[in-house]
Amino acid sequence: MPIRGPDCLPFDTEVSYRRAIERARSQEAKSWELRAATSLARLWHDQGKPAAAHALLAPIYGWFTEGFDTPDLKEAKALLDQLA
């Protein structure tokens, strides 16, 4: 779920997503990393940074070999399709 609100600046949101990605990586939690990366990629897409969004999300999505019918992977795939 995106971190947004009247007191939340885009920079704060980006920092939060980056921290979530780092924590997921340190715990080898691929699904959590995918969620955080999808959120950050969507933020970047909304900010007009589609190349950066794709570069972040594509390799993480590529790790998965099954479960493509799950909501997280469907959402990531739909965003990647938008970024292509």
pLDDT in tens, 19-66: 999 999 999 999 999 999 999 999 999 999 999 999 999 999 999 999
The pTM of the full predicted model, rounded to 2 decimals, is 0.86
Which of 22, 57, 32, 29 minimizes the C-alpha distance to 42? Answer: 57
Q: How far apart are the first and last CA of the chain?
A: 23
The DSSP code for 28 is T
The 3-state DSSP class for residue 49 equals: coil
